[in-house]
């Protein structure tokens, strides 16, 4: 089974508006190994990833889209995969809030720290890949 290269990300917003992203945590994984991680006050670098993953990917993908639109740049043409969906499908985890999934999979988490949240998403995908599951797009 070919293991993919992907980027897990998590946005933090300044308010309830999806165009108010102020920080992003990014964890890059090649196969099942984390090869790079960083936290940015926006300006993420997503080069050479095959897809993106996020917990509740519909939120993070919309934040990315709105921020790219506000900055007048084209969003990356990468598929998004959702670790909430992955946790449900792979292990039957409910509820699927990130702290609940991390507790169940025994992953460290400093929730709402974007790098910690992205690292947890990366670890969820890594554990799924190790269990023989490749994430599906939402």
pTM reported for the whole predicted model: 0.81
Q: Check if the beta carbon of residue 27 is closer than 8 Å to that of residue 55.
A: no
pLDDT in tens, 92-104: 999 999 999 999 9
pLDDT in tens, 31-62: 999 999 999 887 668 888 999 999 999 999 99
In terms of Cβ atoms closer than 10 Å to its own Cβ (0-12, 13-18, 19+), residue 92 is: exposed
For domain 5-130, say whether CATH 3.30.420.10 is its number: yes
pLDDT in tens, 117-129: 999 999 999 999 9
The residue whose two tokens read 């993106």 is 52
Dihedrals phi, psi of 90, to nearest 5 degrees: -85, -45
Neighbours of 101 (CB within 10 A): 25
Task: Determine the angle formed by the axes of helices 98-105 and 83-91, rounding to 10 degrees.
Answer: 40
Domain ranges of the chain: 5-130
Beta bridge partners, 8, equal 27, 53
Which of 68, 55, 64 has its CA nearest to residue 112?
A: 55
């Amino acid at each position: 089974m070919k293991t993919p290269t992907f980027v897990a990300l998590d946005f933090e917003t300044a308010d309830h508006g999806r165009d108010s992203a102020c920080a992003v945590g990014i964890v890059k994984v090649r196969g099942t190994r984390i090869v790079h991680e960083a936290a940015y006050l926006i300006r993420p670098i997503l080069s050479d990833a095959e897809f993106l993953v996020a917990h509740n990917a519909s939120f993070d993908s919309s934040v990315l889209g709105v921020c790219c639109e506000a900055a007048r740049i084209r969003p990356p043409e990468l598929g998004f995969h959702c670790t909430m969906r992955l946790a449900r499908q792979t292990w039957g985890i409910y509820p699927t809030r990130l702290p609940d999934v991390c507790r169940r999979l025994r992953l460290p988490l400093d929730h709402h720290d974007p790098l910690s949240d992205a690292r947890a998403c990366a670890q969820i995908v890594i554990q799924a890949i190790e269990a023989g599951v490749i994430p599906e797009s939402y």
